[in-house]
A and B are shown apart, each in its own frame.
Chain A
């Protein structure tokens, strides 16, 4: 943004501040606050209700009070004792962590090639990579199933790591390419002067400079892998290789009548709160990363 732009923003802000005094009643402001508060309520309420239900047990679950009358941790301890939920959490963490590391490493290398070097077929390849992100997961399901079986990876976490790369690589590449393009050209020339290789340039010079973009894209990739359901449901069978989303979807009672909603909500809260905390903490970077992939592309 240029200085002139900022001055213009300041003027507009000043104009806006004057505006209400000219009118008799600030209908616009009332509308803004009402709409905003309604939006905040609708966005957050389901999570709050899940949180509230996760502390209720038995018939208390069926009363709609938001504040549990007799809060209990029984659902949480139950989830860990009966479900080996800790194991599923570790599985999810391993899959998502590996996917993030691999996607970022592979994309950063490719981002130098696509962002810095002119070569024939570059535009076409970038379009192909973008179109890979439009692929429906079920369109690769049978082919991937065959591949996973052929390599003896059925019912392993490795199968999920490999399959999830299809979901993360297209956008990590695209976002990192746009960010690498914004880096000054002189960096590369200086590196060449010092006789430094491309890999060193990418991982020692670019990576520290790009860390805000890396955090944003890494977080998006983490969320994508952490939330992935279809591949995890299809390529794993035993509880040993089960991830959290599949575990939550499959929680049921032995009798098969009413679902144990208290436990489902407890499990939901456990997987969601860290994610929401991370996202709210890094909200600026995530918003920047999300829109970089879409608008600048």
Chain B
């Protein structure tokens, strides 16, 4: 970056050109970041979409032919693949379950944290523990706790007489996805709680005060005052978490590897791309995931704008 040039140019510019000068300088200052983002985000994304229209393979990335939408709608295309639809179903089920549980629990935890108390600092510290633990590590920690023979969860449940035989938490196809949801809820509820807490803390205190003076019951205060005021904040948090949950990879890959029963869309994509080396086909799946998330973001943004306008009115 030519600092001396910028320095020399700054003080001696005539007044009329100052604004234009500033704008040009702003572009220079933003350029390195924008270029990096374009190089690591924009360009690879465009290449992925392009690859999805070819028969490219990992072993011969440069040597491919254009095959149009064959990867999507062809005889062996994505839309005809039961594995793909299974992965879509798993992802949607995982997202729906984990985000709704995280929202409810996150709201509860945020309400606890919003209460002035001696426990508050301890609560906040405890809140950040699951959030700070790397996903791979939490997946391993829970895999160990949920181990079918030696795991503490089965041992305790057996001791309490809640189950008669040990459950295969991660191996049983009926259970595995729910175990994964459980771990995700443990890991992501803190994030949800923090975002909802931020919304809670922006509720003006006079609202509560007036309600308290009038003797409105607590539950009514929550339903009629708090909830409507924090709803836009909750909505933002739900959207963030949903978009995050739709691309889940680490947790599922570490807990159950490439198993068909729990495979998410991201796990499917990586298996096709890297393990099978089918760059064209894998890119088609990645492109589908991308457009799904893009569409959802656009819809969500529209909804949020409406919610904010209603809250402001």
Contact = CB atoms under 8 A, between A and B. Distances in A.
Contacts of B155: 64
A118 B22 CA distance: 9
Interface string A61-99: 110100000000000000000000000000000000000
9 contacts: A46-B142, A47-B133, A113-B25, A136-B290, A139-B48, A141-B48, A165-B36, A229-B254, A290-B198
B113 to A, nearest CB: 9
Interface in B103-133: 108-109, 112, 115-117, 119, 122-133
Main secondary structure of the interface of B (DSSP, over half): helix
Contact of B144 (A50, A135, A200, A230): A50
A32 B122 CA distance: 14
Contacts of B42: 132
A61 B42 CA distance: 48
Interface string B287-309: 10110011001000000000000
A139 B45 contact: yes
A283 B249 contact: no
A94 to B, nearest CB: 17
B263 to A, nearest CB: 12
Interface in B128-152: 128-138, 140-142, 144-145, 147, 149-150, 152
B30 interface: yes
B198 A47 contact: no
A106 interface: yes
Contact of B246 (A113, A136, A223): A136
A142 B283 contact: yes
A40 B233 CA distance: 24
Contacts of B40: 140, 144, 162-163, 165-166
Main secondary structure of the interface of A (DSSP, over half): helix
Interface in B11-58: 11, 22-23, 25-27, 29-30, 32-34, 36-37, 39-48, 51, 56, 58
A39 B290 contact: no
Given A245-B135, A287-B124, 12 more contacts: A9-B205, A12-B205, A42-B186, A46-B141, A118-B23, A146-B61, A197-B4, A227-B135, A265-B141, A268-B137, A268-B140, A272-B132
Contacts of A15: 209, 212
B150 A8 contact: no
B150 A62 contact: yes
B269 A138 contact: yes
A232 to B, nearest CB: 10
Interface in A202-231: 202, 223, 226-227, 229-230
Interface residues of B, number: 110
Interface size class of A (residues with CB under 8 A): 35 or more
A199 interface: yes
A16 interface: yes
Contacts of A33: 119
A129 B37 contact: yes
B293 A142 contact: no
Given A146-B61, A165-B36, A192-B10, A139 B290 contact: yes
B177 interface: no
A254 interface: no
Given A42-B186, A49-B152, A134 B266 contact: no
Given A36-B112, A46-B141, A198-B10, A8 B156 contact: no
B94 to A, nearest CB: 14
